[in-house]
Amino acid sequence: MGDDRIATGLAYVCHHAEELRRNLNDDGSDPDKPLQRLRTALAEKASEDELHELLEAIHLAVIQATGDPWGVFGHEAGRSVPVGVAPIEIVYRCPLDRCAGRTRDQLIGEARCEMSGRGLRRERLA
């Protein structure tokens, strides 16, 4: 699994964290649930293989729980920049340098990473 696929998968999970928590019955209190395992793996700077495994588990759980055939990877597959971003736009990048980030209109409230709790980095695309 390449960096782009991990980055877009993480961006999707971060952007849809609250919805995923509801759909997967994951309130963050069980360290064995996929979202909490992913959060821990990111905090511990997990390898690409570990992140792939965790994203795949979330991907399959989303498909099973919601019937969404796109899961985690289908929405922005193969993109390293959020969908719909023009090259001169502002994006908010992952503080862990792991996901593809988000545009301003994709933010809900503060510009924070849902996985790490850290602030997103504001960046102008060139």
| 90-93 vs 102-103, strand pairing mode | antiparallel
- In the Cβ-directed half-sphere of 33, how many Cα atoms lie within 13 Å? 14
- Of the candidates 84, 94, 81, 83, the residue with the CA atom closest to the CA atom of residue 126: 81
pTM across the whole model: 0.60
124 or 36, greater pLDDT: 36
pLDDT greater than 70 at residue 81: no
Q: What is the pLDDT of residue 33?
A: 86
Residue boundaries of the structural domains of the chain: 3-66, 90-124
> Does residue 118 contact residue 94 with C-beta atoms inside 8 Å?
no
The torsion angles phi and psi of 34, rounded to 5 degrees, stand at -55, -45
Mean pLDDT of the chain: 77
- Of the candidates 104, 80, 60, the residue with the CA atom closest to the CA atom of residue 2: 80
Secondary structure (H, E, C), 40-93: HHHHCCCCHHHHHHHHHHHHHHHHHHHCCCCCCCCCCCCCCCCCCCCCCCEEEE
> Does residue 19 contact residue 58 with C-beta atoms inside 8 Å?
no
pLDDT greater than 50 at residue 88: yes
